[in-house]
Amino acid sequence: MEPSNYKKKAVWKPGSQPNSGWFQGGGVLDDKLRKAESNKVRIVVSQDGTGDFMTIGEALNSIPKPNSKRIVLIINPGVYRYMILSTLSISSRDFTSTLSINIPKTLPFVTFLGSASHDPPTITGNDTAVVIGGDGIPLGTLKSATVAINANYFVAINIKFENTATHEVGSVRGQGVALRVSGTKAAFHNCSFYGDQDTLYDHKGLHYFNNCYIQGSVDFIFGYGRSFYEKCYLNSIAKKVASVTAQKRSKSSMGSGFSFKDCVVTGSGQIYLGRAWGDYSRVVFTYTFMDKIVLPQGWNDWGSRKRQSTVYYGEYKCSGPGADLSGRGGRTSDPVWRFFRISGFLQSLVPLFDFIAVFVKSLKECVLVGSIRLRDCPNVLP
């Protein structure tokens, strides 16, 4: 269960403007994004029949393809079940995945907006990587997610994403992903992600996570993404030794990495902040509270000693009993601030900040504390 106080206040006051430094080309926004934000369509999803559709899938199927408008799906409270397997025999091939939420590349500019943050809608499933798909072969990690985002410019606010497969089963059946995001310029605000093994597949693209709760045990944030996590609560449910991140940057030329700022790392078990899934894995934690569950060495090379000279794992001004650098073995001896200033990683996130600026601007009339009042959000709804 998530703590009641994990979300920090995030207030956009009327009349406030985004930081001009977030914009590309001297203040020129992404033209596709600008046009989409000026053409919004509102669709209400409610299981009680009071909305436009009763399921998220029906609402998505109603959108003409290719889409060029900002489509806001206002999702009322409820549990929306997808890819549910109530019982499973590992040796049986009778179990097939029949339903998931998959937003294709032809549906950019989609927003999932939970109508009330105190009672967010839950999108849940319990599929795993070895479940047999409709084509008769295992889904694999890529297709096992309860929700898969393949489109660009996706936004989620006040949504709970969940995969209920446990690690005891997941270790045999494979990963159980709650959300996979493969499109670029995606943003998640006041969302929660619940799973066990491989909860959040930060697959590829530019992504922003703000005031989010992310729970899991084994590599519960993983992928190739170039992503910024701000004010997020990372909760381990590991029973033994596990890892928060498994970042997959496999070449030195890849503009890929995870950056965590003002976050909390806590929970159960003993955990590494990250283990090197890729030869050039890159993860940085700044201004983050680390509980005692963080192992003294902090990081893991995934059994490949050569990666110790090619990965970049950094910590800067973190706090808590797990932030003691004395056991890190020199892996964070170089000032992390040099990484920010010289490597160009934050500069590589400029296109993401451009998107964040529009995201913030569209919510500037809203006060996102407690609940979001739709009548006070003229820039979110058409």
Active site residues: 219
What DSSP line would sit under 124-180, residue for residue? EE---TTSB-TTSSB-HHHH--SEEE-SSS-EEES-EEEE---HHHHHHH----SEE
AA identity, residue 170? G
Q: 112 near 143, Cβ under 8 Å? A: no
Interatomic CA distance for residues 177 and 223, integer angstroms: 12
Q: Which residues contact 149 (CB under 8 A, 6 or more apart)?
A: 103, 179, 180, 181, 182, 183, 186
> Residue holding tokens 């319990």?
126
Kindly give the residue spans of alpha helices, DSSP state H, lying in 26-102. Answer: 31-37, 56-61
Q: What SS3 class is residue 355?
A: helix
Contact 247, 256 (CB under 8 A): yes
Pairing of strands 122-125, 312-316: unpaired
339: tokens are 């990484």
Torsion of CA 380, 205, 242, 319, to 10 degrees: -70
